[in-house]
Structure 1
Amino acid sequence: MSAITRRTILMAGAGAGAVLTAPGSARETTGQADIIVVGAGVFGAWTATHLQRAGKKVTLVDAWGPAHSRASSGGESRMTRAAYGPDAIYARMAWESLAEWKALSARAELPVFHRSGVLFFFGQEEPYVVQSLEVHRALGLPTERLEPAELRRRFPQMAWDGVALGLYEPDFGALMARRAVQVLVAEFVKAGGRYEQAAIAPPEASGDRLGGIRTSGGEMLSAEHYAFTCGPWLPKLFPDVLGRRIFPTRQEVFFFAPEAGDDRFSPAHLPGWADFNQGDIFYGFPDLEGRGFKIAHDAHGIAVDPDRNERTHTPEALAEVRAYMRRRFPALAERPLAEARVCQYENSANGDFLIDRHPRWNNVLLVGGGSGHGFKHGPAVGRYAAALLTGTLARPEPRFSLASKGEKEARAVH
């Protein structure tokens, strides 16, 4: 599905009895859904999908549309990898999610997953390397440790000065983010799910349960349970609970045009990559689908309001990535900028996800804190959230609890 818009979602759902409504329609939906999921990004789309697979009647709501341009899920590409140092929980979730991404890609008209491989490299023997390899061995992953001579042989288009070793994950690669979410939502609607495009007011409840949510057009949407998967909008919808626990930050991403005929930076010759750089990570992708060589600095930017953030890149950020390319990708350092994007992370204090019930409303689930690494885990997050909502979760993960979320940023998950 090469261009999935709200209109194509409507058309996909028409033959399956799905109901969609236009923004602003005055209508009560009480009793028409078991669960309402607010936010049609990667976490929301997979949560709705897993709930639907469990036999629930689900309504999925978004203010602008699945993976829209302001959403954290609305970018061109996202990395999927299992290198997480000591954080085995995220390695497992990435590996479990990969099968779902591959299956979705096989069903889609255009690829959702590109198996380009992923290469992490390091200036020294970090504990992160040893711990990642231990976790990968336990999971049975075919991760390779590459010494400098092997890095130079396999990837001569890169400069390897100061690099001590690399970790190569051949089974992972790139997810086409916006396309993936839109395909998934179209499948959800075709299978009988309900999608509504509507802005939601901050919810209010007088007791221990939320009775409904009101749209900006005055419509009341009601269900037995609610999941809010709104990314950087979570602090705005729940300021008292999450206003000091989820931190939306500005991120800048750049795409450069390789020289005509130069295929050294194509997926056939260059994997997705990340320079660990003692935790100050730069990362990027080969020239996927002719969009250009992608590069970004994986550092938390300035705090932003997702509704007011101007999506214009800064000269300083562009200069920073060009300086990095002179060191690692000299053939691309002065190539023309093909495209720049400004998006956002929504960070928890340390990078762990939030998947937990509202502290007062027992029929409300809060899902967020993707923290710049969440997209790849979408299928596993959705499965966990659906199990928590339906009461089938065997054992809650303490790291995903609201109680574990601090109010001061101290990034620990890489």
Structure 2
Amino acid sequence: MLDYGNKINHLKDKSFIGNIQNSMKKNIVVIGSGIFGVSTAFKLLQSGQHVTLVDHLSISDDLKTSNGESRNIRFSHANDEFYSLLSWKAAGEWKKVEKLAGEKLFYDTGVAWFASDENGWESHSKKILNKLNIPCERLSPDDAKALFPSLNIDDLRFVLYESNGGALAAKRSLKALYKLCLYMKCDYLNGHAEIRDDDIYINNSQIDFDIAIWAVGPWMKHVFPFIDMVKVTMQEVVFFDSPKDWSVEKIPAFNDISNAFYGCGSLDGMGVKLGYDLKGKEFDITKDKRAYSDQSVEKCREYIAHRFPTLERAKINKIKTCQYTMTPDANWIIAPHPEHPRHWIIGAGSAHGFKHGPALGQYVTDTILNNKPNPKFSLAMRKERPGGWRDLYQYE
């Protein structure tokens, strides 16, 4: 059992817990305790529903996509207003979770976008952020040098800076949400779930429910083989040894769309994080072994030396792998099962799900309780975007 001491158990303000009449309360089962599942459970509980959370793994198992140490909280999503607005709401929601959990989770030291193209992702994003009144600033390359202990600007046209963005301690944040769910009397079952006809069985025992929400991450295409558009890919994240002035408290998170890299400062002493964002090789979570690509790691070495010159000789502290659960167009899945309307399928974060956390949970809660699915997130086949979320602006 997770333990935050008395920080949650002795909360005096219980106004964040929902309360509705029993006649209106639904019995909802959420299968999967990654960010989609736990965030949705959290918001369902806040709305007053009875929730049972089910998973065959522990909350902190590294097989889960949601168990990376950090995620960037950024608002730029090219021309897509929905994601920009949702991530802006999420930043405020994460601060509320941080307060309830009683520990530092969100390091709002900003996000820097390294723009090598005047009319690329960053310019499209700035127009939308300005329209939505989300703070951002276009910095000259020379001015952007003040954001980092060292920064090579030779290939940059400008830097888009989101002052309210930053980095989230992702693994700790997921655990905090989970603990808050338990505090709100969420039931938890450890076991394998399956659909038989319209019923749910956990470890071969049938359970009662009104609504089932399947948030099974990279297992989606195994639980629901008819969803053949989803692909799971293996990705690499490299942590480079770095001085204290490269900590997550000191530098902004960063993204480089043109070169397909992202990262943030050192969190909990792990070193500067650099992730390679081009789609990796396809990965079957039920049988393939996790193994990083030497080629991808070498690209990370080359990039860190190029972009941050004082880290050119930094040793590698750790190499980790994670998986992306991708749809062709990088939009999520939030849709009712085509044959069993009591069952909903959510997930396929497509490398940009975690940051939305509680705001995503609220959106899913409203969608399901009101039974108003959005075609944007349907199970219908979609147009391919080879660059995933980085291509959003090219097809709008």
TM over 0.5: yes
Match for residue 401 of structure 1 among 343, 362, 378: 378
- The answer to whether residue 320 in structure 2 is matched with residue 336 in structure 1 is no
The 1:220/1:311 distance shift into structure 2, 3 A limit, reads same
Query: What's the CA shift string for 1:121-163, capped at 9, x where partnerless?
Result: 1112024233211211122122010112212344351111111
Could you tell me which residue of structure 2 aligns to residue 225 of structure 1?
211
TM-score by length of 1: 0.85
SS in 2 for 1:288: coil
Instruction: Answer yes or no: is 1:300 the counterpart of 2:279.
Output: yes
**Could you say which residue in structure 2 is the equivalent of 1:378?**
357
Q: How far, CA to CA, are the matches of 2:174 and 2:35 in structure 1?
A: 6
Q: What SS does structure 1 have at the residue aligned with 2:310?
A: coil
Aligned residues of 2:329 and 2:383 also touching (Cα < 8 A)? no
Name the counterpart of 2:201: 214
Whichever residue aligns with residue 234 of structure 2, its letter is R
Which has the higher mean CA deviation after the structures are superposed, 132-141 or 91-100? 132-141
- 1:367 partner amino acid: I
Q: Superposition pairs for residues 107-186 of structure 1, below 5 Å?
A: 107-186=100-179
In 1, distance between residues paired with 2:368 and 2:183?
Answer: 23
Measure the CA separation in 2 of the matches of 1:170 and 1:153: 14
Match of 2:222 among 236, 245, 255: 236
In the alignment, is the contact (CA less than 8 A) between 1:311 and 1:341 conserved in 2? no
Partner of 1:48: 41
Question: Shift in Å at residue 8 of structure 1?
Answer: 4.3
Partner of 1:3: none
Contact 1:15 1:190 survives alignment (8 Å): no
Deviation, 1:94, is 0.2
Q: How far apart are the structure 2 equivalents of 1:50 and 1:138? A: 28
Q: Specify the alignment match of 1:410 in structure 2.
A: 386
Query: Of the candidates 234, 237, 241, which is equivalent to residue 257 of structure 1?
Result: 241
Distance 2:246 2:2 in 1: 36
Residue 196 of structure 2: which of 186, 204, 213 is its match?
204
- TM-score, normalised to structure 2's length? 0.89
Specify the alignment match of 1:79 in structure 2.
72
Q: Would the alpha carbon gap of residues 137 and 100 (structure 1) be closer, same or farther in structure 2, given more than 3 Å must change?
A: same
Percent of aligned pairs with the same residue? Answer: 29
- Give the distance between the partners of 2:59 and 2:52, measured in 1 at CA: 13
Q: Paired residue for 1:266?
A: 247
Where 2:245 maps in the other structure, the secondary structure is coil
**Aligned residues of 1:12 and 1:189 also touching (Cα < 8 A):** no
Contact 2:149–2:246 under 8 Å retained in 1: no
Listed one character per residue, the Cα deviations across residues 8-57 of structure 1 (whole Å, up to 9, x for unaligned) are 49x999999xxxxxxxxxxxxxxx97110000111101111111122211
Deviation at 1:325, TM superposition (A): 1.5
Q: Corresponding residue for 1:388?
A: 367
Distance 2:236 2:32 in 1: 23
Letter in 2 for 1:370: G
Residue 363 of structure 1: aligned partner: 342
Give per-residue Cα distances to partners, 1:378-408, cap 9 Å, x unaligned: 2222112212221265xx43211122x3386
DSSP 3-state at the match of 1:116: coil
- Alpha-carbon distance between aligned partners in 1 of 2:377 and 2:186, rounded to the nearest angstrom: 27
What residue ranges of structure 1 are gaps of 5+ in the alignment?
Answer: 1-5, 17-31
Question: CA RMSD of the aligned region, Å?
Answer: 2.4
2:329 to 350, 356, 376: 350
User: Is 1:105–1:111's contact at 8 Å kept on the other side of the alignment?
Assistant: yes
Are residues 267 and 66 of structure 1, via their aligned partners in 2, closer, same or farther at CA, if it must alter by over 3 Å? same
Deviation at 1:312, TM superposition (A): 3.5
Q: Deviation string for 1:87-140 (max 9, x for gaps)?
A: 111101100111110111122233121112100011120242332112111221
- Local SS of the residue matching 1:171: coil
- Distance in 1, Cα, partners of 2:176 & 2:108: 19
Structure 1 SS opposite 2:291: coil
CA offset digits 1:235-258 (Å, max 9, x no partner): 110002x1x121111011111111
- Match for residue 314 of structure 1? 293
Query: Relative to structure 1, is the Cα distance of residues 319 and 412 closer, same or farther in structure 2, using a 3 angstrom cutoff?
Result: closer
Q: Is the 8 A contact 2:240 2:317 kept in 1?
A: yes
2:388, 2:289 → 1: CA distance? 29
Q: What code does the residue aligned with 1:246 have?
A: V
- In structure 2, how many angstroms separate the alpha carbons of the residues matched to 1:255 and 1:187? 30
| Equivalent position of 1:29 in the other structure | none
Q: Could you list the per-position Cα deviations for residues 207-257 of structure 1 after superposition, in whole angstroms to 9, with x for gaps in the alignment?
A: xxx22x223x322223111000111111110002x1x12111101111111
Distance 2:7 2:264 in 1: 32
Partner of 2:257: 276
Which has the higher mean CA deviation after the structures are superposed, 220-229 or 35-44? 220-229
Q: Distance in 1 between matches of 2:89 and 2:249?
A: 25
Q: For the residues of structure 2 that align with 1:221 and 1:409, how far apart are their CA atoms?
A: 40
CA distance in 1, matches of 2:40, 2:247: 34
Question: Counterpart in 1 of 2:18?
Answer: none
CA contact (8 A) 2:2 2:179 kept: no
C-alpha change, 1:388 and 1:175, in structure 2 (3 Å) is same
Contact persistence 1:105–1:112 (CA under 8 A)? yes
Distance 1:63 1:193, change over 3 A: same
CA contact (8 A) 2:8 2:102 kept: no
How far residue 410 of structure 1 moved from its aligned partner, in angstroms, is 3.4
